[in-house]
Structure 1
C-alpha cells in the first residue's frame, strides 16, 4: 500500500455517525469510526466493558499502518468536500467521481500533486471502508466512479516501480560493511540475514519477540531448533510459521547471527530487535521502528557499492526493506510453492512476479531462433 497523503489538513468534521453535525469537530482528526455506539451512562456497566473490548477487536482487524492510511485518506476527502461546498454524507458516487478526478489532475488540495493510479485506488478503498463503518455503502460500480477510474487508468497508468532485489552475493557484500565487534553491527547482521532468509516484510522483522506473549505490540516470536528456527508470525491472513534453516557457513547463517545478537545484547525477553544506545555500548528496551530496516538496507547497499552504475540518489531509491523479501524470492532455486509459503503470498501469481525476474533470459529465444 502506498503511504498516506502528506501535507497538513484543517480539522475535520466528526462524521463518525450518519447525520453527524459538521460543527462537531475533532481537533485531532485522526480517530477512526467504530460500528459500535459509544458507551453512555444509560448502558449497563458490564455492557460498557464489552463495548470497549469490541472496539479493541475492531482496531485489531487491521494493522496500525492501514488504520493511519484510512484516517488520512478520509481527512483528505472530507477536506476536499468542504472546500468545494459538497456534502460528505450520504455517499454520492458523483461527488466521489469528481474527487478522484481532482486527485488525478493534481487539484485535490492546496499545493497538491498528481496522485498515481495506485494512490487513487487506495483512496477509493479507504472511502469504501470508512463509509461501511458508518453503516453506509459506496457503490464503486456506479458509472460516475467506475467509468472515471477506467479513464484515469488508461490515461495515467504506468508500469510498477519495483524495488531492487538484493541477491545473495550482494547481501554478503552488505554484511561485510558491518562491524561484528559492536552490538550495532551484530544486530544489523542479524536483521539482514533474518529478513532475507525469512522473506519478511520490514514491519514483520521488527515485530518479533523472543518468546510467546511477551509484549502487547508483538506480532510473533521465534523458536530456535537444532536445524534452524521457526518464526511464528501473525500476518495479514492470520498466523503462519516461517521456517528458516541454518546457512551453509557460520558467516551467512541467519540462526547463528541471531543467536550472537541475543547473547551479546543479553536479550532473553521482549522485542527481538532494539535500539542500541550510548555510542553502541547499550541495548535499550524499545522495539525498533520498521523504517530502520529500510535505512539499514539502503545504507549497507550504498556502502557495498551495489549498482555502482547509478548515481547515489538513484541507488538510494532502488533499495528498501522490501529488497530483502524480493531477494529471497528472486534467488531461491526451488519450486514456487515453497517460495509462496515462505512469503505468505495468497496467490501463486504474486510469487511468479518475482520468479519471472529470476528467470529472465534463462531461455534465450533470440539465439534459439538462429540469430
Structure 2
C-alpha cells in the first residue's frame, strides 16, 4: 500500500478517528458537511496535527505520535487542491505553477516543468496572465497544473467542483480524468455528491461524525450499502427503521408496511432502504404492492419527483402493518418516487390527489444493521 492512515484528533464537540489504507487508486471520501472528510486530508497534508496515530506515504513516515515524528507540510510533498483553488493573485499563471516546485530546483528545470504543464492543460499563451483574468475553468486548470509540477507523493482534492456551474463542471471532469491517469500513486477525493464520486473513484470511504463507517468498491457502495450513513450519502431517499418479522419479511415501521425481501432479513436489522428510482407501478406482482396517494409532485428536466402517503386499506397482494379505512395516514412517513418523464406520457404522470398502486421490488430493498 502507498498510503497508511490511522489517526485520532479530538475537539471539544467533535472527534476524528479514521483508519484506512490506499494503493495506486482514487479513493473517495463521501459524507455530509462537517463529517470529517476535509479534516482527514488536512491531517495528511500537515495542516492539522492529530493527537495520536500514524501517517505513512510511499514508505515515508509523515506523522507518528509514538516516535515523535511530524514532518512539515513542505517536507511531506503532498498536493491539496481546495474548493477555491488557492491561486496567488499577485503571481502570473507560470509563477503560480512554479510555486510548488522546490526552491533549490535549477531555473531551466523549473521553466521546462512549467512549460510542460501549460501544454498538458491547454494553457499555452496564458503563462503571463494573472488569475483575475482567467475564467473559473482556467483557474482550476492552473491549480491542477501546479499540483503535478510539484511532483507530489499523493494528490488530494477537496470538492474541486463545488463552485462550478454544471456546464463547466462537465467540461472540466475530462481534465480531472486526464490528471488522474497521469499520476502514479494514491489520489484522495473528497465529495458529498455520490454521482461525482462514482465518476472518479475506485473505492469510497463513508465518513460520518468523524468516523469511517464503510470502505468498499464504488459499485458495492451503491449496490450493497451496509450502514445507515451509507444509505444516506449514496442517495437512498426512502429510509425507515425496520423490524424483522420472519426470514424474508421485514416491517418498515415509519411507513407502516410489511415487505417481502429477496435476501434473508438479519436478526438485528435496524433500517430498510429503497431508492426512489426503483419503485414502479404494479403490474400483477404477488408481493409488495400498495396503494399510495400522491401528496405532492415536482418536476426537473427529465424526472418527476412524487411524494406518496400510504393508504390505510391493504390491496389484495400487499401487507400493511395496520388496517383501517381507505385514506392516507398523516402520521406515516412519506415515500419518494422518481418517475422517468421520457418513459411516461404526460397523461400518465402522477399528480397530486391520485391514488397509485405501487410495487416495491424485493431485490432492490437494502437492509442494514447499523
More strand by share: 2
Q: Name the larger-Rg structure.
A: 2
TM-score interval, smaller chain: under 0.3
More helix by share: 1
Relative contact order higher in (CA < 8 Å, ≥ 6 apart):
2
Normalization by structure 2: what TM-score?
A: 0.22
